[in-house]
Chain A
Amino acid sequence: MLGIVRQKMLEQSLKKIRPAVSVLRSYSSAAKQMTVREALNSALDEEMSADSKVFLMGEEVGEYQGAYKITKGLLDKYGPERVLDTPITEAGFTGIAVGAAYYGVKPVVEFMTFNFSMQAIDHIINSAAKTNYMSSGRISVPIVFRGPNGAAAGVGAQHSQCYAAWYASCPGLKVLAPYSSEDARGLLKAGIRDPDPVVFLENELLYGESFPVSDEVLDSSFCLPIGKAKIERKGKDVTIAAYSKMVGYALKAAETLEKDGIDAEVINLRSIRPLDRSTINASVRKTNRLVTVEEAFPQHGVGAEICASIVEESFAYLDAPVERIAGADVPMPYAANLERMAVPQVEDIVRAAKRTCYRSVS
């Protein structure tokens, strides 16, 4: 059965290589629509039913059905021993989950937003990420930290930071950032099965968005590889690399650019650590131009790392300097118009791509 799944996935990928007009929405057979929220919920449900060592822990995950309703229905199904409502003690309950993971149970810790993970970051980095190394392989930590990351709408500076770069700089962690429902399901299942600590960065604004999913994705053993990016749209003129919500913006930008005769290749990073350098480099060697897009602060960010990787490995192939699109270098403002200016928009990506193609100086 699994062999058939793999074969079907291969066929699926072959189908995607054929050019499609409206990129994301119309490929493949029997497309059912699924929101990212449903994808995450079903992934958690399936993993919890497959392995009784998996349990959930976090604020409001039980009776409230999840602060963003991601864990809806799981308390009723699995009971309070496996879906634990915690007091407001990030440092405490994260540490408890890590200690439990030392003993082989598989906690999935929810942070109401990743901003709150800063209260628990000592445990994520020092007790979870570094332990397999410090104990020289004797104690592994099969834990998943998940929750919404990055900007939402009008939530202000302390609720809007993106933590991808911070966590991805730490060896011992795997950092995943899904975009579509397929990504959400596949990567969360992969993360839960993984024997290492995984930081799973979701996006609040994507929870309600619907994506088509094929039967393979709906299968309960569906899993995506950690560390492999996905080429959402093939192109030949410029590579646009993005993760999470910015993938959607990049795809819209690609549509706009197509009208101006620029054929953009959009890469959905999916995995920030390990970063899929080979895919990005292969793509840049083909197109010779790169735009990186992220919502986070620009300094020391994911875009900076990708740029460094390209310069180290594919410098001779670049025809134009790398363009980095990132959030504004300010704490997130509250006013709606300022907020819009502090986060990349589709026009910014289009302009950046045109700059790399020397079609524009602005």
Chain B
Amino acid sequence: MNVNQSAPPVPPFGQPQPVYQGYHQSSYGGQPGSTAPTTPYGAYNGPVPGYQQTSPPGMFPSVSRAPPSSEAPPASTAQAPCGQASYGQFGQGDVQNGPSSTVQMQRFPGSQPFGSVPLAPVVSQPTVLQPYGPPPTSAQVTAQLAGMQISGAVAPALPPVGNVTISFFLEASDSGVYLNPFYFYQPGPPQPLPPKRLDPDAIPSPIQVIEDDRNNRGSEPFVTGVRGQVPPLVTTNFLVKDQGNASPRYIRCTSYNIPCTSDMAKQAQVPLAAVIKPLARLPPEEASPYVVDHGESGPLRCNRCKAYMCPFMQFIEGGRRFQCCFCSCINDVPPQYFQHLDHTGKRVDAYDRPELSLGSYEFLATVDYCKNNKFPSPPAFIFMIDVSYNAIRSGLVRLLCEELKSLLDFLPREGGTEESAIRVGFVTYNKVLHFYNVKSSLAQPQMMVVSDVADMFVPLLDGFLVNVSESRAVITSLLDQIPEMFADTRETETVFAPVIQAGMEALKAAECAGKLFLFHTSLPIAEAPGKLKNRDDRKLINTDKEKTLFQPQTGAYQTLAKECVAQGCCVDLFLFPNQYVDVATLSVVPQLTGGSVYKYACFQVENDQERFLSDLRRDVQKVVGFDAVMRVRTSTGIRAVDFFGAFYMSNTTDVELAGLDGDKTVTVEFKHDDRLNEESGALLQCALLYTSCAGQRRLRIHNLALNCCTQLADLYRNCETDTLINYMAKFAYRGVLNSPVKTVRDTLITQCAQILACYRKNCASPSSAGQLILPECMKLLPVYLNCVLKSDVLQPGAEVTTDDRAYVRQLVTSMDVAETNVFFYPRLLPLTKSPIESATEPPAVRASEERLSNGDIYLLENGLNLFLWVGASVQQGVVQSLFNVSSFSQITSGLSVLPVLDNPLSKKVRGLIDSLRAQRSRYMKLIVVKQEDKLEMLFKHFLVEDKSLSGGASYVDFLCHMHKEIRQLLS
């Protein structure tokens, strides 16, 4: 929660700011009325009294209700002097800070979810209501800036999540002058008044929230035993102890307390979604899921809904039967699985069996779970290299071949095996395809050219897919010769679909699943299936036809992808374009087969080598599952209805993934189809059937229990904004395929406004209409949403190419919460502020130009880009020790490598860069940006709190706009 640390001087208020005005006109002008809520808000849109009447029953039903009733006495104002004090100030409209931030943000990890009753002494508050908040656990801050007040309150700040309200409000002074920055939303403000600027420090700061969560929850492990616990933020380092629920590394939800009825859910408009990363990598301290082998009978499942045995299954009749926790069906326990129950009704062996005590575990699958009822053979990797003129000239082919020679030793292995079971194959191509026979018995590799690209087939069976160690000599010889063979090529045309087709056919012929690594340079214009034409047209931006830029040019790739999925053929695409290559079309197959796309525009070996090789190494080495099917089962009452991510679905329930690695995430949206029961809560079970990289067929099960609520306040108290943003971004990014971008953005804004308005109406205390009240859990929603809205996909700048947008669009589709978080709100780290000696990462600052001081150096990262910004008046010594040049002017702009220097600062910075890179799934190329340099434009693009060049609103402006939307909904 954000608080002004120092009492800000009261800035003179007056006319509207020019900045604001511009924003108003350009982005949102002319449509204030268009965002009227469509949800059944009408009934509540009454005047204030009406609101007051309805909200208390909705929000604070009764003291005796189960969850909130545990201990805390109703609103004891006497308990917390400081809180009270602030209340007082607040109430009186004092121009003062609230209490110190440490108090406000306190959460109590590990304690019970509901500590106090959110009572409703509401009526007693004058203008700004602080409805609940028993003292030590609640804090309220007000900041009043020339008539604007920001109040934050941790309401029944009950662990794990406090219900914090931040309210912005407008206040009219007695003198009759509107002293608030939003006044132009009000009718009739006199124009000549000087603009009042909303102090950025006064609005919720992501940095602060992250820091607080880190401090409060980073120290203790997160124990998953309790239902409906909100986990620490993704930015916090924490350990997880699995005690029956899946780790948040595997599943995160937008809310951990789900409305019992669909009416409530509709009212709140909070999307119910889970972000699932089934094969997430765990830190070394956490054990990977146990593998359970149930022998020939296979995993135990519910007969009706086919859910897998999990800790929530209820054993009855002395253990002879069990009741399914999802569908309530009663099943017999097979004799070999029988065990007695103890006095609490638990099986005696519960703790000996992972499937009865843990949230995540794996089953060994039986042959019934395999394709064609045959155990799979180990998967294969096929490297398919573009050898057209561009690829050769840029040095790519040589670099790649050289790298593959050593990289092949590091193919993913399973467990402690000496050698990877994965076989490899090689194809090069331009207008035709060249297959290579690298059978170990050959003295020289053999090349087989297939030029019948219209009707692709695999020319050889034996010797195409080989074991690396057996055929090493031949493979090495091949990789040595490929760059030589094509050194003089003049072929500039390439094909694309036939290449994938060929790889897929090869896997089909070998009867295995696998992955294709495609290294491709140009728009496939050669005569072949899947031939594309250059259809890039910037004129389409901001028109109804803009969506076509994101849609594939031809349906051929979807068909192809479908075949790939059926074969378990995952496609990873490395693009090296010099111009438009139509990423939107080329990425269809990777996208639908669970693969990744990497793009290196204008690839040059000197500059991009490190980045490409690093990505390649990581991509080849990462553990991956093949031929996977994911199914999410839920308690009766809700149902998984929508899925986002890199996969293919042939029906409405099964997520089919030709390949799935530890970075890929699937976001699942749930909808009610019945009532949920508060007592039993809502359960999720995500079952992933896949083939491991050693060729073992397995089932990975993740279980998660959520609470259910009948009070909207409970919902708002248990939300996770980061996950919400992850869902909303994916939703919006899919939306651009079908609707004009503007519609998509309006939908987002409307939804956000509705969420917040619903809160305001039903959960917050009645207060002045000029007040913006945000739920504590969602106080960052506006800033993050603004970042989504002004991202390249939804609001492209002039320098953003169509390919870039398509690339980002598909990247985001399979990002997890941590990735979307940093992607939309980049981290900006000051390097020279904290002492060099301190070992920890420097605390981040907000992504705004105002936060940069020209005497410092900053590092900015968003998971894809990494900038080192150097202030113009940075100390010479710092310049010397970092760049090894004597002055600022001598620093090369655009530098991508820092010199290796033996001094603490250099070591620290380089160490920091390395550690940042290590955290991300893709290598971030460093770009050194000097203040006032032309590259700075690029850098400023990432200062997301500022107004962007492409017309994106600044944080403050957007907040104002959001407020206006909410007010419109409320009135």
A binds B: no
